[in-house]
Every structure is written in C-alpha cells, then in structure tokens.
Amino acid sequence: MVNRLLLYLELIRMEFVNNLAYRSFYFTGILNYSIQIGAYFFLWDAVYAGNRVIGGLDREEMITYVIIAWVVRSFYFSNLDRRVGTDIREGKIALELIRPYSYQMVKYARSFGEAIFRMLFFALPAGLAIYLIRPFTLPIGWDSVVMFVIAVLGAFVINAQISMIAGFVVFFTKSPTGVYKAKRVIMDLLSGLLLPISFYPGWARDIIQLLPFQAVSYLPNMIYLGQISGAAAFKVLGLQVFWITVLGLLAHLFWRFAVKHVVIQGG
C-alpha cells in the first residue's frame, strides 16, 4: 500500500521533471491560450454592450468566468485519451499485463505530474499576466478560494476519467481521431467552458445537470464567482465525489473488457 503510494508519487515527480525538459513545447500552448482568451474577451465584451445581465451573470462576471475557465483548463487538460487510445491500438496494453501495478493509476499519476507542471508554469503565470493586463474579479472570501481549489482538483480527476474512458472507446471504433474530436466537442460544450450552463435553454440545462461534464468547468467557476457558496458549494463537491465513483467504475469495466479481449484474442 505504502509502496504503491511511493510509486505513484515517483511517477508524478518524474512526469513533472520530464515536462520541464520539454517546456519549449508549452510556449506554443501559451500562445494558443492567449488567443482563445483574447477572442472570448472581445466577443463577450461586445455581447454585453449595454451592461445587461445574461444567464445570471453580468458583464464583469462573464469576463472573469471566461478567464477562469480557460486558465483552469490549462491546468486540468491532458492528452490522456490519445495516450490510452494509442496504447490500445498499438497493443501496448498487453505489455502492461506483465507489470504488478494498476495501468490506470499509472496514467492518472503521470497526468497529475503534468498538471502540476502546467499549473506552475502555465496556469498561474498566465492568470497573473492577464490580471496585470486586465484585472478581473477575485473571489470574495477565503472559503470560496478553498472550495474552488478543491473543486478544481475534482475537475482534474473527472476530466482525466472521461479521457480515460474515451481512450478505451477507441477499442470499439475504426476512427480514433473521431473519438478524440467527439470527446473534445462534448467536453467544451457540456462542461461550460465555451458557454456557462445557465445560458442554455431549460430543457438542455435539465439534461446537462444529469451528466458529469459540468462538474469540470461550470460548477468550479461558479464557486469562484461566489454564485455557488456555503452548503451549495459542499453539494458541488459531493456531486464530484459521486461522479468520480461512477466514472471510476465505468473506466474499470472498460479496462476489464479490453484486457479480456487482449488475453483471449491477442489484441
């Protein structure tokens, strides 16, 4: 138990160090995010001309929402789906069977190492730089900050689990890129990254509320903005725990299926 923990800590450290060595790769990423955030800033600035309130958010809140959503995404985002999909397509998961560890935990640990790197060298500097250029609203109280940080960790786990499952789905299709793209579109739309969930029509909101995606972006952002606080914020964390359990179970079933296929049919 302790030994496994040390292994996963080692993986986190290793991935972090590994990312340091390839950090030039991230400069393009930073550019990409700057363009995204800039574009959405001008878009919403125009939409909000006249100081209206849309979907429960005023102009300032909306701009903060966009900035926070993208900065946080730069933390939790990973290529886990592609990595798992490639392992499956190239038959690498057969080789994972000769190792006394959990394949999924190894992948999650490495993703987390990368996420810590992204937070330190990407999300935090980007957030600071944006704040210097165009100050945005800060959380009202420390309780919001604490709840937000925990919710962002939950967002990382849920996003990683969804990516893991998407990677496993590659097993059932001839078009892996189709799976990755579909996952990306679903995540961008239903997580609330592109549009707060409160902007959707009632029927769409009802459906989205039954899905795990909003726990990745929309709900943590609302905690940041103070729109969700107190007991409601605790409920968000509870919801995240619920989805982490369900998705973990689902990912486990997919893994079992993939392994069964490999050991019977040879990949």
Ligand X SMILES: Nc1ncnc2c1ncn2[C@@H]1O[C@H](COP(=O)(O)OP(=O)(O)OP(=O)(O)O)[C@@H](O)[C@H]1O
Q: What residues line the site for ligand X (CB under 6 A)?
A: 266-267
To ligand X, the closest distance from the beta carbon of 94 in angstroms equals 9
Q: How many CB atoms lie within 10 A of CB 244?
A: 17
* Smallest separation, CB 48 to another protein (Å): 44
- Minimal distance in Å, beta carbon 88 to ligand X? 14
What is the nearest approach in angstroms of ligand X to the Cβ of residue 229?
55
| Closest distance to another protein from the beta carbon of 220 (Å) | 30
Q: Closer to ligand X by CB, 94 or 120: give it.
A: 94
Cβ neighbours, 10 Å, residue 267: 14
32, interface contact from another protein, ligand X, none, CB < 5-8 Å by kind: none
User: Would you give the DSSP letter of residue 138?
Assistant: P
Of 97, 126, 107, nearest to 256 (Cα)?
Answer: 97
- Closer of 88 and 219 to ligand X (Cβ): 88
CB of 264 to ligand X, least distance (A): 10
Residue 70 or 255 having the CB closest to another protein = 255
Residue numbers at the binding site for another protein (CB under 8 A): 3, 6-7, 10-11, 14, 17-18, 94-95, 97-101, 262-266
- For 160, other C-beta atoms within 10 Å of its C-beta total 25
Residue nearest ligand X (C-beta atom): 266
**Binds 219: which of ligand X, another protein, none (CB < 5-8 Å by kind):** none
- Report which residue type is found at 190: L
The distance of Cα 257 from the centroid of its chain, to the nearest Å, equals 25
CA 246 – CA 74 distance, rounded (Å): 25
Distance CA 135, CA 251 (A): 40
| Lookup: tokens for 229 | 């606080």
Nearer to another protein, 25 or 42 (CB): 25
Least spacing, CB of residue 99 vs another protein, in Å: 6
Measured CA to CA, the distance from residue 243 to residue 214 in angstroms comes to 11
Q: What are residue 54's DSSP bridge partners?
A: 57
Q: Choosing among ligand X, another protein, none, which partner's interface includes residue 135 (Cβ < 5 to 8 Å by kind)?
A: none
Q: Binds 95, which of ligand X, another protein, none (CB < 5 to 8 A, cut-off by type)? A: another protein
For residue 161, which of 93, 96, 108, 92 has the smallest C-alpha distance? 108
Q: What is the CA radius of gyration of the chain?
A: 19
Chosen from ligand X, another protein, none, partner binding at 149 (C-beta under 5 to 8 Å by type): none
Interaction partner, residue 263 (another protein, ligand X, none; CB < 5-8 Å by kind): another protein
State the DSSP string of 69-87: HHHHHHHH---HHHHHHHH
Among another protein, ligand X, none, the one that 14 touches (CB under a kind-dependent 5 to 8 A) is another protein
> Do residues 216 and 161 make contact, with C-beta atoms less than 8 angstroms apart?
no
